[in-house]
Structure 1
Amino acid sequence: EFKAAKADRLPKFNLQGGWQKVNGSTDFYSYQAGISIPLFSGTERNRVQTAKINQQIATTQAEFTKSQLESTYLQAWETYKKWQRTWRLYEEESLPLAIEQREGALMAYKEGAVNYTGFTQMMRDAIQIEQDAMTALENYLTHSFEIQYFKN
């Protein structure tokens, strides 16, 4: 729009040619060449300025949107990395310990080393660790999909 408005302020060249038939004779040729120069084009000048301002607004909005998108991506990346580390910790350390805790609680209860209340407390703690691990896995996968969305 800016370029079109600016082009309207440039001089325009024209060239015309033709022949004319008079009383049966076709020997009459005419040629015209001209140039149109806009002299007092306040309206055109205003149109060019308006188009230039609109171009600057569009550029600024595009840059703002780009920076917002980059910021959102970086935030999503940091969240993804956090949940990845959390899930890896549960996967490599906490879940194996929770399984051992459940097996140990069951064995201790069967042998009479702990009462029912102690057994249920140990089982509840192990199950809570497993639930927390599943929550970490869910968040990790959710943010993994979000990162894939940004990359595509």
Structure 2
Amino acid sequence: QLRLSQQPEVTKPISIAATDRFGQHSKIKRVMIYPNGEPKETAVQCFGSNLNELMDNAKLKWNLMQPIQALFDENGCVIERFDQLNRDQLICVSTTKTFITSSERQREIDIKANWTRTRNKYGDQATDIRVNSTLASAPQLA
């Protein structure tokens, strides 16, 4: 009869797959994402181990119909590499190549609404733009 202390020590080799999963897990970053033109307060968590995976997950989270073309930080700087991201960083995802703040987007909406109200109240001609230019003489070249 062998006792526990007399039994040979059995060691299991660590599988390569297990170490790969651990290595891959450490590369996954959690960031907070919000759509371009939306308030930062609408940001939700998103995970990814590279930029493409992060963009795919963001597209699914926000149910975007078009592919994400650019990632921006809070200041509107383009994020081109995964190592530019920090944990819990606030990221703007955009389906275009341009960054727009929520206040700029709201301003555009207000302009369109005013334009439409004016057309409804005064007719289509109220928003027609006419430019008249008359030159008394040819411009002088230096």
Q: With structure 2 as the length reference, what TM-score do the two structures score?
A: 0.31
Q: With structure 1 as the length reference, what TM-score do the two structures score?
A: 0.30
Higher helix share: 1
- Find the structure with the greater CA-based Rg: 1
